[in-house]
Amino acid sequence: MTIPDEVFDLVSKVSNGNGIMEDYERICLILSNLTATELSSVFQKCDILKALMSIDLHDKQSAQIAIKLASIVFSLIPLFGFVQSHQEELLLILESTKLDLIEFILKRLRAGLVEPSCSVYNIPERILMSIARLVLHDKLSLSMEAQNFLITLATKCPLGLKSVLGPNVVGTLNPLCSKSEHLIRVSEFAVQLVSKQPEVFKDVENSGLFQPILDGLNSRDPLVRLNWLELGKLLTISETGYHFLNKQGVFSRLLDDLYSSASDPLVDLLLPDPRT
């Protein structure tokens, strides 16, 4: 079919901030009926990503339209070629408040990491640093998507582990951990990484990512320690993790504190529930 001129007019309209939801729906309808060749022609002549950025994601309907439009974009263009050529636009999305759209894009980027041709060089440094910062996001599902992306990069992509443990990820996160919640998120990422690929344990240890767990488990404050016990428990699932904590004296200190602090009512928080 011939590409309707209407689609160019609509993209221009919404990109200038003058569109309504029906305009976006019409754009999606037209694009979904074009061939791959026709879609490529449209993308060359107008900035679909700018139209995507202009959607005000104030309700479920608009979020669905945005994700549908994003699906059309990512279905045609080679993923990492698109990342390279649209860095600025992707950064705008990753650093925006369009959380559903960010999660969708992270899922698509993560799916691309398992392609045989994938390389760490497919992910520009600025994009990688922006994704790393999302690990600290208040929205848990978004933080988990960012963590999953980084874990996949580290475990599936050649040189990915070196990239993740280097300045663009760990180096970006460390100065930003101003709250205990941030330290917990980063530590969750480290524990999940070694659970997926135990052979990288020593590399992760050498990066310093386990230090907050050790500090938390060695805290004199039972409430602080309680926040870190779950992560400590997850770390002991692997034999390597168990021996690591044991070598650091974590278990002996916990036992000593339990015996010596029996009169402290807060210490009950660290004990197993007698009903279980």
pLDDT tens figures, 171-223: 999 899 988 899 999 999 999 999 999 999 999 999 999 999 999 999 888 78
Which of residues 176, 193, 215 is at a domain's end? 176
> Residue 60 — very low, low, confident or very high, per pLDDT cuts 50/70/90?
confident
> Both 239 and 156 in a single domain?
no
- How far, in Å, are 33, 41, 105, 266, 269 from residue 77 at the CA level? 16, 11, 14, 57, 53
At residue 167, the pLDDT reads: 92
pTM above 0.85, yes or no: no
> Both 163 and 192 in a single domain?
no
Instruction: Evaluate if residue 274 carries a pLDDT over 70.
Output: no
Instruction: Evaluate if residue 262 carries a pLDDT over 80.
Output: no
Structure-derived torsion over alpha carbons of residues 199, 201, 203, 206, reported in degrees to the nearest 10? -160
Residue 262: count other Cβ atoms within 10 Å of its Cβ.
10
Residue-range definition of the domain harbouring residue 97: 85-176
Angle subtended at Cα 77 by Cα 11 and Cα 140, rounded to the nearest 5 degrees:
85
> Both 135 and 153 in a single domain?
yes
At residue 120, the pLDDT reads: 87
Range among 85-99, 144-158, 210-224 with highest mean pLDDT value: 144-158
Q: Which of 73-82, 192-201, 263-272 has the lowest mean pLDDT?
A: 263-272
> Both 193 and 162 in a single domain?
no
> Both 156 and 197 in a single domain?
no
Instruction: Evaluate if residue 266 carries a pLDDT over 60.
Output: no
Instruction: Evaluate if residue 267 carries a pLDDT over 70.
Output: no
Instruction: Evaluate if residue 35 carries a pLDDT over 80.
Output: yes
> Both 163 and 214 in a single domain?
no
> Both 107 and 127 in a single domain?
yes
Let me know: does 245 contact 232? Beta carbons within 8 Å. Answer: yes
Let me know: does 209 contact 190? Beta carbons within 8 Å. Answer: yes
Which of residues 48, 76, 104 is at a domain's end? 76
Q: Which tokens is 65 given?
A: 């339209």
> Both 69 and 35 in a single domain?
yes
> Both 207 and 132 in a single domain?
no
At residue 40, the pLDDT reads: 84
At residue 81, the pLDDT reads: 78
Higher pLDDT, 142 or 85: 142
> Both 262 and 210 in a single domain?
yes
- What is the Cα–Cα distance from 269 to 196, expressed in whole angstroms? 30
> Both 169 and 243 in a single domain?
no
**If you average pLDDT over residues 90-109, what whole number do you get?**
90
Encoded amino acid at 98, one letter: K
Instruction: Evaluate if residue 68 carries a pLDDT over 70.
Output: yes
Crossing angle for the helix pair 222-235 and 180-196, to the nearest 10 degrees: 20
% of the chain residues with pLDDT over 70: 93
Q: How many domains does the chain have?
A: 3
H or E element that contains 33: none
Kindly report the backbone phi and psi dihedral angles of residue 59, in degrees, each rounded to the nearest multiple of 5, phi listed first.
Answer: -150, 175
Which of residues 76, 97, 118 is at a domain's end? 76
> Both 27 and 99 in a single domain?
no
